[in-house]
Chain A
């Protein structure tokens, strides 16, 4: 079974631009979560989607947004990029939204903002 696929793997953008990251979950998984990893902050929760609905949201500004499609694929968008948005963005999927369903992560998208 294929794992979680994130595209692109690497991205370089300049301040003020916007970016869209894509995530394809494991086949059959309906829940998708997004995390930001930075050296100083660890893994910070961005948002979680299930059946195209946002179920949980982290403490990030409105410049960060996401959505989930009917095939469970998800995208996240960051508008008006800032230097501090440079990070590894990780997508994870789980079978459902049950609390005891572990997340399975992709290898992330490394975003560099210059």
Chain B
């Protein structure tokens, strides 16, 4: 039972353009959502989070959007840079519960 899904295993974007990474969840009890970035041979690095009382959170080039009715969240990276090339994981958690991760999307930003 995969409660958090990232349906695109990979995404390729040109440098300077927008990268949009998508994530769907099935559990309506989730109320805290996060995005992580992971380089090979390193642990995931926390990027940005959003609670269910908001529909948007912005931090520099990174913006996370939450659509609770659709159980969908997305991460926008503008402008994309070659150093953003990595695997991106979305994660979700309900109050007192464990953090559940999606399968990841590999982003490639081409110069």
Interface residues of A (CB under 8 A from B): 4, 33, 35, 42-43, 45, 48, 55-56, 58, 90, 92, 97, 99-100, 102-108
Please count the residue pairs between chain A and chain B whose beta carbons lie under 8 angstroms apart in the complex: 53
Interface extent on B, as a size class?
A: 20 to 34
Interface residues of B (CB under 8 A from A): 31-32, 34, 36, 41-46, 49, 51, 89, 93-104
Query: Given A99-B31, A99-B93, are A43 and B46 neighbors across the interface (CB < 8 Å)?
Result: no
Instruction: Among B43, B96, B97, B101, point to the contact of A42 (Cβ < 8 A).
Output: B101
- Across the interface, do B43 and A4 meet the contact criterion of CB distance under 8 Å? yes
8 A-B pairs (CB sep. < 8 Å) = A33-B98, A42-B101, A56-B98, A90-B44, A97-B96, A102-B34, A105-B44, A106-B43
- Across the interface, do B32 and A42 meet the contact criterion of CB distance under 8 Å? no
- Across the interface, do A56 and B97 meet the contact criterion of CB distance under 8 Å? yes
In whole angstroms, what is the CA distance A100 to B96 when docked? 10
Interface residues of chain A: helix, strand, loop or mixed (majority): strand
- Across the interface, do B46 and A104 meet the contact criterion of CB distance under 8 Å? yes
Residues of B contacting A48 with CB < 8 Å? 98
Residues of A contacting B98 with CB < 8 Å? 33, 45, 48, 56, 58
- Across the interface, do A105 and B34 meet the contact criterion of CB distance under 8 Å? no
